Amino acid sequence: MKKAFVLITFCLFTIACGNSETSKDEKTETEAIVTEKEATPEITEKASSPCAFISEAKIKEVLGIPADAVTEMKDVMRTYPTCFYKWESVMFSTKRTIAGKEVSLDFPAEVTIVLVKNASDKMFETSTKVYSDGEVQDGIGDMAMWGTQMSQLTFLAKGTMIHLHVKVSGDLAANKSKALELATLIIEKL
């Protein structure tokens, strides 16, 4: 019995140490990206960060977020340049059915902008295949599609494709309306 207890304790200790190292590696990688951007701001600007399309103040105005709300903003380079906005102080509620019971869940308001330069019609079609509920949107760039489940608008304009995720309300139509308004402002900057 004592041997089993020692073995289990040793296994738990090993797993815990392994998780700690993973977190440390991820943190170091993130710090390296931030440090690199700080050291070479001119390169970041030439990369056309999607954060530069619309000012934070204008985004708040369009979304109806108070001007004094604290914005958590991340400008990162993943597969494509991506800008994340989140407002922890601005929450919205949605109702979901979990285990047969309807519950109300609160989420922070968020917007994500992904920039894909030199995009083609074929790239747009490939990207929007994931929208099981996709709705074609006329009047937004060359092509546009809204996916309600993903709360995301993908549009192609001037050879650039933008994925615009907007989730600021439990009202799906309101999210779509805000995304279309932001898309119009982004197209002006392309």
Contact 132, 105 (CB under 8 A): no
Cβ atoms of 188 and 56 within 8 Å: the answer is: no
Average pLDDT for residues 68-85, to the nearest whole number?
Answer: 95
Assess whether pLDDT exceeds 50 at residue 31. no
Class of 48-189 in CATH: alpha beta
Instruction: Report the mean per-residue pLDDT for the chain.
Output: 81
| Model confidence pLDDT, tens digit, residues 152-164 | 999 999 999 999 9
Closest CA to 175 of 155, 137, 156, 147: 147
Could you state, in order of their start, the residue ranges of all structural domains in the chain? 1-39, 48-189
Confidence of residue 20 (pLDDT cuts 50, 70, 90): very low
Rounded Cα distance between 150 and 122, Å, is 21
Task: Please report the pLDDT score of residue 2 as a whole number.
Answer: 52
> Which residue, 114, 40, 29, is CA-closest to 79?
114
In order of 3, 106, 118, 154, 166, the CA distances from 115 in angstroms are: 56, 29, 10, 10, 15
Nearest to 72 by CA among 109, 32, 28, 115: 109
